[in-house]
Chain A
Amino acid sequence: MKQTVQKLWLLLVALALVAAACGSDSSSDDTASDDTSTETASTDDSSSDDAAADDDAAEASAGLEGTLRVMIHQNPPMVEWVEKFNADFEAANPGVSIDLSVIDAADLPTSNQTRLSASDVDVTTVTVTGFANPVQPYMTNVEPPYWQQLIEAGLLMDLSGQPFVDNYDDAAIAEGGSFDGGVYSLNLGRVSYSGMFVNHDLLAEVGVEVPTTWDELVGACDAVKGAGYECMTAGGADGWPIFVGAYGLLGSLYPDQQGLVEGLWTGDLAWDDEQGQKLFERYQIYANEMLEDQAAGLGHDAAIERYKAGDVAFAPTGNWQAGVLEPAADSDLTPAEFEWSYIPFPGSDNPEDNQILFGKYDQGWAVAADTPVPDLAMAYLAAFSEAETYNDFANTVNFLPTQPTATLDNTLGRSVAPLLQEGAFTVGYEQWFIGPDGAGQWANGGQGAMWFYNGDFDDAAAAAAQAQADLEAGLSS
C-alpha cells in the first residue's frame, strides 16, 4: 500500500517535470538533431583534455633534431648516469629532446614486445642478458628466445658497419648482440653472478679464513653463527636473487656450464645423477641453513643494504651490487665500513673449481628498425660509445667493461681482475639453458635453490628426481 502511494507521488512529480521541461518548446521540430549535436560536442569537449603532446619540435637549427625515445631498466646507479648523459647530449644538440622511460627489469620483454610492435620506442634496452639462450644445434622442439622473435619480425635495426660497433670487443659483439650475420644489439657490459661478497673484518673477528671449499664454507657459517652473526643474506622477497645467489654453487660443481646444458639435452647428464644429487643437497643447505631468516623480507636492493651494515659474513649476488658497498667518489652515499672482496662461490670440494668466475652479458641497446630518427639514434649510441664516456658508465654501474680500453678502477675491479685474467670470461648456465617444449615447470634445475627456499620441496632427492622427470617429459615429446 505504502509503495503504491509512493509510486503515485513519483509519477505526479515526474509529470510535472515533463510539463516544465518540454512545455516551453513544444513546437520545435528538430529537437532530436539538436540533441545529437550536443552530444557530439560534449564528446569533443572531453577528449580535448587528452590532446596529444605530439608536436614535432620544429626547430630550425642545423644538425640533429627531434625527439628520441629511450627505454632503460631500473637499476639506480645506471638510471642516474643515463639521466646525466641525456642532459649532456641534449645540451650538445639543441634541437634534440630525449624522452627516457625507466621500467622494471621483469617488464622488459613485455615492454619491448608492445613498444617495438607499436613503433613507440627508438633506442631500447632489448635485454639484460645479452643474446642469451640461443637455440643450439642439439636442441629440437624449442621456442626461440624473444630477442630472436623480435629480429625475425624485422623490428630491430642491423647495426653492422656502424663505426661505434668497433669500440667494443669482438666477443661482446658476437656473443652479446649478433644473430644470423647481423649486429642487433650493442652490449654494454659483462657481469658476474657466480660470486659472493666477503666481509673480511667479520671473518677475522670470528677467526676463520676465507673459505676455499664447500666444507670450509659450511664450517665458516657455523663459526659465524656461533659468534652471533649471520652467514648469508639475499633478496628473498624478490624470489630470483635466491637462485641467482646459487649460480656460483652450480658453477663450481659444473665448471663447464655450456657442457652441462648440452649434457642435459643429450642425456649424458641428469639432474638426479650423482653430481646432480650433490648439487640439490647443497642447494638445500644453502637455502635453508646458510641464508638468514630475515632474507625473506628483503628485496634485492635491500639485501645488499642490509649486508652493508656489517653483521653478515657473505652476500652471494651479482657483482653489480658492488656500487652500494663502494659508491662512486662524487656520490653522497657512504661506503661499507669493512674490508670486502668478491670471490667465486666455494661450492665444490675441489679448490680449483672454486676459482672460476662466470656470468652473463648484461644490458644490450638496440634500435627500432622503423625509427623515424635513425640519425639521431646512431648519434646517441656513438656518443655513448666514446671511450671516456663508456669508461665512466662501466665504473658507475660496475659492469666488467666490453670496451677493451675501459677498466674497472675500484675494489670490485681489483678483486675480480686476477680471476678474469686466468680464463676468458665465460657465459653461465642461465644463458644457455632452454627447456624443450612440453617440459614441466621444474625442468630448470638451475633454479632449484629457490624451490627449497619457497618450501616447494624439502627433500633433495625428490627435488632432483622431479627436475629430471620434468625435463625428460619435454625431451621425449
Chain B
Amino acid sequence: MAQEHRNLFSGGRRRFTPWLLLAPGLGIYLLISVGPSLATAIYSFTDATGIRGLPISWVGLDNYDEFLLQGARSRDNIDALQRTLLFMAVVTVVQFGIGLVMALLVNQNLRGRMFFRTLFFVPVILGAVVQGLMWKLFLRPGGGPMDTLIGWFGLESQFLTGPSAFYWVIVVQIWANAGFTMVIFLAGLQSIPSELNEAAAVDGASGWQLFRNVTWPQLTPAVNTNFLLNIIGSLQAWILFLVLVGYRNGTQVLGYVVFAEGFGQTGNNTFRQGFAAAASIVLFLLVLVLGMTANFVVARRERKYLG
C-alpha cells in the first residue's frame, strides 16, 4: 500500500521538485495511453472512418447493435468472439502445462540444463514476425518438415491454408510463449527453500507426493502470475494470425477484427474505425470480466496456500 509520507526532500521551493520530475512521465502516459483508451469508448458511438475530411457523426448504439444483434453479420462477430475464447482456453491451459513441465525438467541437476533453458526462451526474444516466418516455412505443405513428420504417422494437413489453420496458429502461439511461462515457474521453483524438499525426501515421499504437497503449494505466486498473464495475453494476441494466415473467414479473433475493420484490411477495404472501436470495447469487457474472475480465483488460492 502506498502510504503518504511527508516528503523528506521537501523544503522551501524544492517542495515541487517531485511533481516537476513526475510530470513528464505521467503526462505522456495520460496523453498516449489513458486518454486514447478512454476515447475508444466515445469513438465506438460514432461512424468515424479515420479518413481526414470525412464528417464524423454520432450513431448511438448502432455499432454495438451491428456487432451483436444483426443476424448473419453478427454471427460472424460472435464466432470470432467464441474463437477468441477457445484460443484463450487452449493456449492458457497447454502453455501453462508445457511451461511447468519444462521448468521442472530444467530445474534438475542435469547436464545441459542451461542449454535447454536458453533454447526454450529464444522465441520470446525473436518476436512474432520472425516466429511467424519461421513456422510458415516449417509448416510448408508438400514436403516441409512438419508435413514429413506427420506423414510418418500417416497423417496429412494443409496446415495454414486448410481448415486446421486456426489450430496451427495455436501451436505456434504456445511454442512462442512457453519459454516465458517456464522462466516464471523457474523463478518460483528456485525460491522454494531447499529444507522443505529435503525434509520431505527424508520422510520417504515419492516424486509425485513431493510435487503435490511441497512444490505445488509453494509455487503459488508463480502459478498465479502465469495463470493471469496467459489469460490476458492470449485474449489480446492476434499478430501471429496476421503473419501466418492473414484475415481469412473462419480464423479471425477479436483483436484482428479491430485492426482489420479500422484500417481497411477486411475484404471490402472500407475503414470503419467507429465499428472497430466498438469491437475493441467488447474485447475489453471480455478481458475485464475474465481477468477479474481469474484475479478472484487467484486471490482465493493465495489465501488457501499462503495464509
Q: State yes or no: do A and B come from one complex.
A: yes
A binding-site residues for B, Cβ under 8 Å: 32, 35-36, 39, 106, 109-110, 113-114, 116-118, 133, 143-146, 149-150, 152-155, 236-237, 239, 293-294, 296-297, 434-435, 437-444, 451, 453-456, 469-470, 473-474, 477
Query: Which listed residue, A144, A451, A456, A473, touches B72 by the CB 8 Å rule?
Result: A473
Q: How many residues of B contact A (CB 8 A)?
A: 43
Question: Are the CB atoms of B161 and A39 closer together than 8 Å?
Answer: no
Query: Which listed residue, B52, B72, B142, B143, touches A440 by the CB 8 Å rule?
Result: B72
> What are 27 inter-chain pairs, A to B, with CB distance below 8 A?
A110-B263, A110-B265, A113-B50, A113-B263, A114-B50, A133-B268, A143-B272, A145-B270, A146-B264, A146-B269, A149-B54, A155-B51, A239-B161, A434-B268, A439-B73, A440-B71, A440-B73, A440-B75, A441-B72, A442-B249, A454-B158, A454-B162, A454-B163, A454-B249, A455-B162, A455-B163, A473-B71
Question: Are the CB atoms of A477 and B71 closer together than 8 Å?
Answer: yes
Identify which of residues 253-282 in chain B touch chain A, using a CB-to-CB cut-off of 8 Å.
263-265, 267-272
Question: Are the CB atoms of B52 and A456 closer together than 8 Å?
Answer: no
Q: Which residues of A contact B268 (CB under 8 A)?
A: 133, 143, 145, 434-435
B293 sits at the interface (CB 8 A): no
Question: Are the CB atoms of A440 and B144 closer together than 8 Å?
Answer: no
Query: Which listed residue, B51, B72, B160, B267, touches A438 by the CB 8 Å rule?
Result: B72
Q: A145-B269, A442-B249 are in contact. Are A454 and B75 (CB under 8 A)?
A: no
The interface stretch among B14-22, B108-116, B170-178 is B14-22
Complexed CA–CA distance, A268 and B143 (Å) = 47
Query: Which listed residue, B14, B52, B66, B264, touches A32 by the CB 8 Å rule?
Result: B14
Question: Are the CB atoms of A117 and B142 closer together than 8 Å?
Answer: no
Distance in angstroms from A94 CB to nearest chain B CB is 34
Closest to A152 in B: B54
Query: Which listed residue, B54, B73, B140, touches A297 by the CB 8 Å rule?
Result: B140
Q: A153-B54, A239-B248 are in contact. Are A438 and B71 (CB under 8 A)?
A: yes
Identify which of residues 52-84 in chain B touch chain A, using a CB-to-CB cut-off of 8 Å.
52-54, 66, 70-73, 75-76
Closest to A466 in B: B72
Question: Are the CB atoms of B249 and A451 closer together than 8 Å?
Answer: yes
Q: CB-CB contacts of B228-264 with A at 8 A, as 1s and 0s? A: 0000000000000000001011100000000000011
Complexed CA–CA distance, A45 and B144 (Å) = 49
Question: Are the CB atoms of B66 and A296 closer together than 8 Å?
Answer: no
Q: Which residues of A contact B165 (CB under 8 A)?
A: 454
B226 sits at the interface (CB 8 A): no
Q: CB-CB contacts of B30-61 with A at 8 A, as 1s and 0s? A: 00000000000000000001111110000000
Q: Which residues of B contact A454 (CB under 8 A)?
A: 158, 161-163, 165, 248-250
B141 sits at the interface (CB 8 A): yes
Complexed CA–CA distance, A116 and B49 (Å) = 13
Q: A296-B141, A435-B268 are in contact. Are A113 and B51 (CB under 8 A)?
A: yes
